[in-house]
């Protein structure tokens, strides 16, 4: 007798196999034959928890419980039909893809993700009763930098304890002596050797940025201090970072300059520059640029996007995308963007949260993309004397003459670099985070989270919050966290709550 399993393999009756005597217990523990088919038939009636326990009995039961159809049925009560169709498309994409990270697609793992329960492992009390404004996890996931509204910061380290691990206070300090009113944001550099801190000053209407370098003992030393906007800054590479300087040049008209800075300024020689302007961005809808990041994209995709823009009329050179109502479920383009891609030639793109053209004034609810040509600082060639250069710098930093009329909008736009493409979101942007594989960007908003592709910024997927969260007036900077399976983002504008969404 031939028996066809759920995997489609034909196996012969156990009587046709070895003629040696087999006991009752060993017959049910064999990994093939009728026993395997019967075990899978029985397991199809079990719930997920019982199926997990049955898989731990022996090797044969584990093999029977690993049948993908069993776990796919367990997903039925937990997922809607559109989500199941999306998962099937993801499974097909995983089979066609050759990358090792997607070769182990498992319906059992998908069930575990839907049935996961979050558990609070530990809770650390903040000293002084200050409110936490930002927390940044290092790339190695072994350190957390926490900033507070009393201008203090703390670096927590993961240490071994009792056969496991726990978080312990490693190093910290206060920036009150530097004149800071609060510590607003923290970002780890690639390699986690440096930490970028930004915050507002107490006696001046501007923000300041510090770069700390950590030694072998885990203590930081200030390397760079620079001016920045309320957006703070972001790392362009392990040795360079980007800052924004907005300037109000006319009533309700401002221009933001993007500066590339060296993180090792004390090692730079007299003839090497430490900062250079790379872009000028026009502030649409009189809104500040609230968030930014640097992403690596395939150079071929960026060239196609530039060629597409060069063939259009100048007045229509900026392509804008909007998220349609039917894009709540994952699309095939979303699965393609989340697959790991190895690129030999990469380009760098600046993605920023900005105001929308013709949108609400003062609200950053759109994303724009600009190409960064180079991430290395060019050599500095000074042709004038030091006194002349200082005089020119002071004249540029001073207020404009009252006799000169303010520049028009067209004149300011002519001085700026238009974005390659923009994407209008449903609500104000609260945070930006690149997907671990680098093919898309998640933006958390007051209404949930939205995903766009790189570098075209095409809408791929959105997740909507079930209900609006209570609004808090306390300052905070909460960046979303993205993985292949989950999106963690703030629940609302200034809310104390953080929601976790399924990214599938």
404 occurs within a structural domain? no
Q: How confident is the model at residue 101 (pLDDT cuts 50, 70, 90)?
A: very low
Could you say which of 79, 114, 149 is where a domain stops? 114
67 occurs within a structural domain? yes
| Greatest CA separation for the chain | 106
For residues 117 and 180, give the distance between their C-alpha atoms in angstroms, rounded to a whole number. 40
Could you say which of 114, 149, 164 is where a domain stops? 114
Answer yes or no: is pLDDT of 371 > 80: yes
Which pLDDT belongs to residue 3? 34
Which pLDDT belongs to residue 315? 39
More confident residue, 261 or 385: 261
126 occurs within a structural domain? no
Answer yes or no: is pLDDT of 408 > 80: yes
Which pLDDT belongs to residue 22? 43
**Count: domains in the chain:** 2
Residue position matching structure tokens 């496991």: 164
- For the segment 318-323, the average pLDDT, to the nearest whole number, is 59
318 occurs within a structural domain? yes
Helix (H) or strand (E) holding 73: helix 68-74
DSSP character at residue 190: T
For every residue of 286-349, DSSP letters joined together read: G----EEEEEEEEHHHHHHHHHHHHTS-GGG-SEEEE--TT-SS--HHHHHHHS----SSEEEE
List phi, psi (to 5°) of 256. Answer: -110, 125
What radius of gyration do the chain's Cα atoms show? 28
Residues 24-35 as b or e (16 or more Cβ within 10 Å = b): eeeeebbebbbb
Answer yes or no: is pLDDT of 72 > 50: yes
Give per-residue pLDDT as tens, 45-56.
Answer: 888 888 888 888
More confident residue, 375 or 233: 233
More confident residue, 131 or 473: 131
What is the value of pTM for the model shown? 0.73
Residue position matching structure tokens 């060239």: 303
Angle at 249 between CA 245 and CA 251, to 5 degrees: 120
Instruction: Let me know if 180 is exposed, middle or buried by CB neighbors in 10 A (0-12, 13-18, 19+).
Output: buried
For residues 478 and 133, give the distance between their C-alpha atoms in angstroms, rounded to a whole number. 7
380 occurs within a structural domain? yes
List phi, psi (to 5°) of 23. Answer: -70, 170
Answer yes or no: is pLDDT of 475 > 80: no
Report the share of the chain in percent with pLDDT over 90.
Answer: 23
14 occurs within a structural domain? yes
Which pLDDT belongs to residue 355? 93
- For the segment 374-379, the average pLDDT, to the nearest whole number, is 78
Structure token digits, residue 148? 């507070």
361 occurs within a structural domain? yes
For residues 223 and 487, give the distance between their C-alpha atoms in angstroms, rounded to a whole number. 34
List phi, psi (to 5°) of 95. Answer: -70, -35
Q: How confident is the model at residue 14 (pLDDT cuts 50, 70, 90)?
A: very low
232 occurs within a structural domain? no
Could you say which of 114, 130, 148 is where a domain stops? 114
Instruction: Let me know if 115 is exposed, middle or buried by CB neighbors in 10 A (0-12, 13-18, 19+).
Output: middle
Find the domain containing 483 and state its range: 288-396+419-504
Residue position matching structure tokens 């939205």: 450
Q: How confident is the model at residue 32 (pLDDT cuts 50, 70, 90)?
A: low
Helices (H) and strands (E) in the chain, counts: 12, 26
């Amino acid at each position: 007798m031939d028996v066809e399993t759920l995997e489609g393999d034909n196996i012969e009756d156990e009587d046709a196999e070895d003629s040696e005597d087999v006991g009752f217990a060993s017959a049910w523990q064999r990994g093939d034959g009728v026993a395997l088919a019967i075990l899978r038939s029985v397991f199809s009636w079990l719930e997920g928890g019982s199926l997990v326990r049955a898989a731990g009995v022996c090797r044969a039961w584990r093999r029977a419980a690993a049948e993908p159809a069993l776990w796919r049925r367990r997903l039925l009560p937990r997922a809607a039909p559109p989500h199941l169709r999306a998962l099937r498309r993801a499974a097909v994409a995983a089979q066609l893809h050759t990358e090792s990270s997607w070769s182990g697609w498992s319906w059992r793992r998908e069930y575990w993700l839907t049935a996961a329960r979050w558990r609070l492992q530990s809770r650390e009390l903040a000293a002084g009763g200050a409110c936490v404004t930002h927390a940044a996890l290092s790339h190695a996931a072994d350190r957390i930098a926490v900033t507070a509204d009393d201008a203090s910061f703390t670096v927590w380290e993961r240490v071994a304890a009792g056969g496991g691990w726990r978080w312990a206070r490693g190093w910290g300090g206060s920036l009150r002596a530097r004149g800071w009113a609060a510590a607003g944001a923290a970002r780890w550099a690639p390699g986690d050797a440096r930490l970028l801190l930004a915050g507002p000053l107490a006696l001046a209407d501007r923000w300041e940025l510090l770069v700390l370098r950590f030694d072998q003992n885990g203590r930081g030393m200030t390397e760079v201090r620079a001016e920045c906007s309320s957006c703070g800054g972001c790392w362009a590479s392990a040795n360079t970072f980007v800052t924004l300087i907005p300037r109000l040049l006319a009533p309700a008209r401002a221009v933001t300059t993007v500066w590339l800075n060296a993180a090792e300024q004390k090692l730079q020689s007299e003839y090497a520059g430490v900062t250079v302007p790379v872009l000028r961005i026009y502030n649409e809808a009189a809104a500040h640029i609230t968030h930014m990041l640097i992403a690596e994209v395939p150079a071929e995709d960026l060239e196609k996007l530039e060629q597409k823009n060069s063939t259009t009329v100048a007045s229509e050179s900026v392509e804008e995308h909007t998220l349609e109502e039917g894009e709540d479920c994952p699309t095939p383009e979303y699965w393609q963007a989340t697959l790991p891609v190895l690129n030999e030639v990469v380009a760098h793109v600046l993605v920023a949260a900005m105001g929308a053209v013709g949108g609400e004034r003062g609200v950053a609810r759109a994303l724009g993309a600009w190409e960064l040509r180079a991430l290395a600082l060019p050599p500095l060639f000074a042709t004038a004397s030091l006194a002349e250069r200082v005089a020119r710098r002071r004249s540029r930093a001073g207020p404009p003459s009252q006799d000169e009329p303010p520049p028009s909008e067209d004149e300011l736009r002519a001085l700026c670099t238009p974005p390659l493409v923009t994407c209008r979101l449903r609500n104000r942007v609260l945070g930006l985070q690149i997907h671990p594989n680098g093919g898309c960007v998640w933006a958390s908003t007051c209404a949930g989270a939205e995903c766009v592709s790189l570098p075209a910024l095409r809408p791929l997927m959105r997740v909507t919050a079930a209900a609006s969260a209570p609004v808090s007036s306390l300052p905070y900077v909460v960046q979303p966290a993205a993985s292949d399976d989950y999106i963690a983002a703030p629940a609302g504008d200034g809310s104390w709550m953080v929601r976790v969404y399924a990214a599938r």
